[in-house]
Amino acid sequence: MRRFLYLILFILFIVLFSACGGEATSSSNGEEGEVYTLKVATALTESDPIYQGLVSLQESVAEKTNGEVKFEIFGSGSLGEDSDIIEQAKVGANVAVLTDAGRLAEMVHEIGILSAPYIVDSYEEASEVVKSDLFKGWEEKLANEHNLQVLSFNWYQGERHLLTNKKIEKPEDLQGVQLRTAGSPISLQTVEAMGASPVGMAWAEVYPGLQQGVIDAAEAHHSATYGANLQEVIGYITKTRHFQLLTGLVAGKGWMDDLPEDYQDIIYEESLKMAEEASHNIIESSAEVEQQLIDEGVEVNEVDIEPFREATDAVYESFEGYEELRDEINKILEK
C-alpha cells in the first residue's frame, strides 16, 4: 500500500511539473522566458486608421518576439485620461499612451511647440522635425528627467478643423462660441486666440456635450470626427487646418529598460514603421472620409486660413522661448 501511495505521489509530481513547464514561454535564444505585457491606451475608436495601426504594431511585435511581448490596446479612452496614464508610466507601470506634444510639455516645455498653431503645414514637415537633433534632445529630457520613453512620434492623425452648428468664415464668427479642445495650455490659448471660448473636455464627452448643448463646437481631424459620429450633432466643418496633429506613443523608461535589448529594438523599429503606414493611410483616406461626412449632412467649408493664422500668431509670445523655437524649426524646414 505504501509503495502504491508513493507511486501515486510521484505521478502527481510529474503531472504538476509538466503543467508548470507548459506555461513557460521560450525566449529568442531558446531559453525559457517571461511574457512582457504593455497596455496601450488611446482615445481613438477601433474604426480609426491610427487605432488600426496600433493593432498592426501589436501583431508585428508579437510575431517578432515569439509572443513574448504582448501589446493590449484599450481604445475610446477606456483606460483613463492621458495625463493619468503618463503618471503611471513614469513610476514603472506597464502602460503606454498615444498622446500629443501638448501633454508632454508639462514635463519638457519645448516639445509643446509641436502642438502650436500652424507650426508645420503637412505630415512631411512634421516628420522632418521629429527626425531632427532638436527633437532628439527633447526625447532625451523626457527619458532622463521624467522616466518617459518615446517609442515613436510619427503617428499623424491629420489636419484639425472647426466643428460647429453655425457657419464660420472668419475668426470674428467664433465670438461667444464655447468650443471644446484638448486641455493643454497651448490648445486652450490657440482656440481663444481664434476668437472662441475654449473648453477643456475629454474626447469621449464631446458627442453628448454637443448633443446636450454643454458646448457649441469642437475642433478635430476628419477621422476622429467620423469615428465619434460627430456628424450627427454638428452642421458645419470649417477647414482652418490650425493644427497638424502629430502624436507619439510613450511608455515608461523603466519598463522599457527591463526588456531584453533585442526586444527594445524590435519595439522601436516596428513602432516607427507602423506609425508611418498608419499615417499614410490617414492621408490617403482623408478625402473619402470628408465625402462621407458630406453625404451624411455636414457642410464642409474651405476658407481663407490667413486670418486664423494671423490671429494665432500671438500664441507664440505667450510661451517662453517659442518664438525662437519656431525660428529653429523654420530653419530645419528651410522656410
Instruction: Quote the CA–CA distance of 327 and 335 in Å, as a whole number.
Output: 9
| Angle of CA points 325, 326, 328, to nearest 5° | 60
Q: Cell 481663407 belongs to which residue?
A: 304
Which pLDDT belongs to residue 32? 54
pLDDT at 182 over 70: yes
Q: β-pairing, 148-164 with 217-221?
A: antiparallel
Task: Tell me which DSSP letter residue 235 carries.
Answer: S
Instruction: Quote the CA–CA distance of 286 and 220 in Å, as a whole number.
Output: 13
Mean pLDDT to the nearest integer, 36-47: 95
Number of other CB atoms surrounding residue 323 within 10 Å: 12
Which pLDDT belongs to residue 284? 95
pLDDT class of 202 with cuts at 50, 70, 90: confident
Closest CA to 191 of 173, 174, 167: 174
Number of other CB atoms surrounding residue 128 within 10 Å: 16
Which pLDDT belongs to residue 31? 45
pLDDT class of 183 with cuts at 50, 70, 90: confident
Which pLDDT belongs to residue 166? 97
Q: For each of the domains in the chain, give its residue range(s) and CATH number, in order of start.
A: 35-332 (3.40.190.170)
Pick from 9-13, 49-53, 86-90, 241-245: least confident: 9-13
Mean pLDDT across the chain: 91
Q: Is 320 helix (H, G, I), strand (E, B) or coil?
A: coil
Q: Is 215 helix (H, G, I), strand (E, B) or coil?
A: coil
Q: Is 213 helix (H, G, I), strand (E, B) or coil?
A: coil
Q: Is 233 helix (H, G, I), strand (E, B) or coil?
A: coil
Give this prediction's pTM. Answer: 0.86
